[in-house]
Amino acid sequence: MIKVSIVGASGYTGGDLLRILLLHPQVEIHQVTSERHAGKAVASVHPNLRKICKHKFVSAAELGPCDVLFLGLPHGHMMNRLAEFEALADTLIDLSADFRLRDNNAYETWYGKSHACPEKLDGFVYGIAELHREQLKNAKRISGAGCNATATILALHPLYQAGVVESAVVEVKAGSSQGGNAVSEGSHHPERSGAVRSYKPTAHRHLAEIQQELGTDRVHFSATSIEMVRGILATCHVFLNKDLEEKDIWKLYRAAYGNEPFIRIVKERSGIHRYPEPKILAGSNFCDIGFERDPHSNRLVVISALDNLMKGAAGQAVQAFNIARGFDETSGLEFPGLHP
């Protein structure tokens, strides 16, 4: 049994990590931290874990050694406390944005400040298994990818790899859990419920990861908040540099993802679920991907869906952890999602 602790476990990502790992057959949860809730029962914050999780939150100061430390701190904290956490565990899996970019300049450009330990950036594997599975094996430093970035990168990577993209415009529809558990005027239910709100029409930080992983800057990104708690739908308008038919596109995606346990190509001729939809993915680790060729232009519309807290955060991190430790890649991630 691997002894795992979670730093920042009162947040939504931390809560989902805990939910997954409590039932993971090779994991024993050692400690979970929350500064604000230290001393309280975990279930008082995550009511779905009543009767399932007996742990109480501790302060990070009380952390003891463990095998693997998952970190769900707000952006900017991890890089300042890296040494502290390295002293506690052999393996660190960070879910913040601190170690996603390999290029220190890019970090400064997009995050507006200097990185606290730029020399460590290269030591972290970017945690999308579908792109970096080999590097993840035995990895000791893993950085989770951004949720919007994951949806976008998984949707577009096979096309960029094949060199068939002229440019792309990505528009993400996002749920409110993406904003975390801190209350704000924008998240006040009477204001947020039913809203369709452009929260980041331009200059979204996840674009830095997207451009890094796709190896291009000819990709544009906007995000719109909609009435949803969990979930992302990314609609990617891809302008092709050659005339591909749908069967050619099929081939590219099958080649890239045919053996992936958590990617499904969703493209049906009839029925109401013809394309990916985040609703049926809540709680699951799948990323569903579909596409449609525009008969009137060189546009290809690629659609991807995932649960931002799962394949976009906690689930993805556990998938990377499973690979790093040599476990079955799907351990703890079997929940298929609900219908309806």
What ranges make up the beta strands (E) of 59-105? 66-71, 89-94
- Binding mask 1-30 toward a second copy (x if CB under 8 A, else -) reads -----------x--xx--x--xx-------
End-to-end CA distance of the chain: 36
Reported as half-sphere exposure (CB side, CA atoms, 13 A), residue 228 has a value of 24
Residue type, 187: S
Q: List the x/- string, 119-158, binding to a second copy by CB under 8 A.
A: ----------------------------------------
246 is a contact residue toward a second copy (CB under 8 A): no
One-letter amino acid at 37 equals H
Contact 75, 96 (CB under 8 A): yes
Minimum gap (Å) between residue 332 Cβ and a second copy: 11
Among 4, 17, 29, 49, binds a second copy (CB under 8 A): 49
- The phi, psi pair for 88, rounded to 5°, reads -95, -30
Q: What are phi and psi of 16, to 5 degrees?
A: -70, -35
Query: The dihedral of CA 92, 96, 97, 98: what is its sign?
Result: negative
Q: Least distance in Å: CB of 189 to a second copy?
A: 4
64, 65, 186, 326: which one binds a second copy (CB under 8 A): 186
Shortest gap between Cβ of 338 and a second copy (angstroms)?
A: 5
Residue 236 designated active-site:
no
Please, which residues have CB within 8 angstroms of residue 295's CB and are 6 or more apart in sequence? Answer: none
Q: Which of 53, 66, 147, 287 is catalytic?
A: 147
Question: What is the spatial distance between Cα 311 and Cα 231, in angstroms, rounded to a whole number?
Answer: 10
Interface with a second copy (CB under 8 A), residue from 105, 114, 202, 241 = 202
Using CA atoms, how far apart are residues 27 and 213, in angstroms rounded to an integer? Answer: 31
Residues 291-320 that bind a second copy (CB under 8 A): 292-297, 299, 301, 303, 305
Of the candidate residues 88, 106, 117, 169, the single one contacting a second copy (CB under 8 A): 169
Minimum gap (Å) between residue 65 Cβ and a second copy: 28
The 248-277 site mask, x for binding a second copy (CB under 8 A), equals ----------------x-x-x--xxxxxxx
Any idea which residues carry the catalytic annotation? 147
